[in-house]
Amino acid sequence: MEWYLPLIWALVIGFAVAMYVVLDGFDLGIGILFPFVGSDQERDQMMNTVAPFWDGNETWLVLGGAGLLVAFPVAYAILLPAFYLPVTLMLLGLVLRGVSFEFRWIAKTSKYLWNFAFAGGSTVAAFMQGVIVGGMVSGIKVQGTQYAGGSFDWFTPFALMCGFAMVAGYALLGATWLLMKTEGAVAEHARRYAMIALYAVLFFMAIVSLWTPIEHARIAERWFSLPNFLFFWPVPLVTAVLSFLCWYWLWKGNDFMPFWCAIALFFMGYSGLVISNFPYLVPPVLTVWETAAVPASQLFALMGTLFMFPILIGYTVFIYWIFRGKVREGEGYH
């Protein structure tokens, strides 16, 4: 039990984070694209595509964070001090995004301010999430089971580049979501933005793929040593195929397939992150077993989580099924 409980919790948290990245990713992506839209009518239509979903999407972030605290308190106690400022800015961005989402609908003369707040909050939240990922990949200084680094160790060129990459990735998710959910001018703009975002994503993916093994020998060894390479080479191959398919469907005028290709691209990037770092939860020092809570605490929390998990998944599937279809200009749920 002591061996497999941390693995189960790692799967639960990993699934929750993946769900958050995909589901809230297109929410944030819409905010990132906000400044590039010409009229408030188009912005209204964009926001109406996510109005029924965005609150529920953020639930997955709460589950991931709470799971980390309960199941891996040592990792939580190290990661939070290591990323105090990025986490704080991310949460402030999410709060600003949420407040502006509601206030924008009732504002008259100040709507432009809430447009700016929605775009700014979304962009800051997305950028900081990428910075956190980049900081974790770069490694965290630990002495024993305590954080031994400084307040700005996360502030590196690699982490900042990962921040821009995350913004581009979320913009791709947002644009392809709009393409799938809208018609008319918004859909036309979304197709153009999706193509630009795809090129940006491919650029950043290439940079990350080259930079990471050059700067981090442990990751290079994980990917390129034998027999690992024989098992892992399909990841970049599938990623290349998905990138081409996303471009192809955008070019052919398909409204639905680009979104699913974008999700699959995120999944491949997530898979690469797991391959590079597992079983380290605090790279490159502490594993999931070394940071886990006592088995009794893990088991108790897992019982409640497994009870709520089907409810959360069921609600997510239900709400997306109910509000399926395109949102036309003048229609909405807000």
Does residue 331 belong to any structural domain of this protein?
Answer: no
Measure the CA–CA gap between 329 and 197, rounded to whole angstroms: 24
Residue 237, classified by CB atoms within 10 Å of its CB into exposed (0-12), middle (13-18) or buried (19+), is: exposed
Measure the CA–CA gap between 12 and 305, rounded to whole angstroms: 9
Helix or strand holding residue 290 (H, E): none
pLDDT at 191: 93
Does residue 329 belong to any structural domain of this protein?
Answer: no
3-state class of 286 per DSSP?
strand
pLDDT at 268: 92
pLDDT at 332: 61
Tokens 């432009």 — which residue? Answer: 112
pLDDT averaged over 10-residue windows placed end to end, the chain, 334 residues: 83 92 91 87 86 81 90 92 94 91 79 88 95 91 86 91 95 94 88 95 91 84 84 90 95 92 93 88 89 90 88 89 78 60
Closest-CA residue to 49 (of 316, 253, 325)? 325
For the residues of 96-158, what is the DSSP string, one character each? HHHHHHHHHHH-STTHHHHHHHHHHHHHHHHHHHHHHHHHHHH---EETTEE-S-TTTT--HH
Closest-CA residue to 312 (of 21, 5, 55)? 55
pLDDT at 333: 58
Domain that holds residue 64: 4-322
Does residue 161 belong to any structural domain of this protein?
Answer: yes
Does residue 330 belong to any structural domain of this protein?
Answer: no
Closest-CA residue to 253 (of 325, 172, 191)? 191
Measure the CA–CA gap between 161 and 178, rounded to whole angstroms: 26
Q: Is 77 left (phi over 0), alpha (psi -120 to 50) or beta?
A: alpha
Domain count, the chain: 1
Output phi, psi for 219, to 5 deg: -75, -40
Measure the CA–CA gap between 42 and 143, rounded to whole angstroms: 52
CA torsion sign for 102, 311, 314, 60 is positive
pLDDT at 224: 85
Does residue 332 belong to any structural domain of this protein?
Answer: no
249, 258 contact by CB (below 8 A): yes
pLDDT at 330: 62
CA distances from 204 to 59, 81, 152, 326, 328 (A): 28, 28, 23, 31, 33
pLDDT at 230: 85
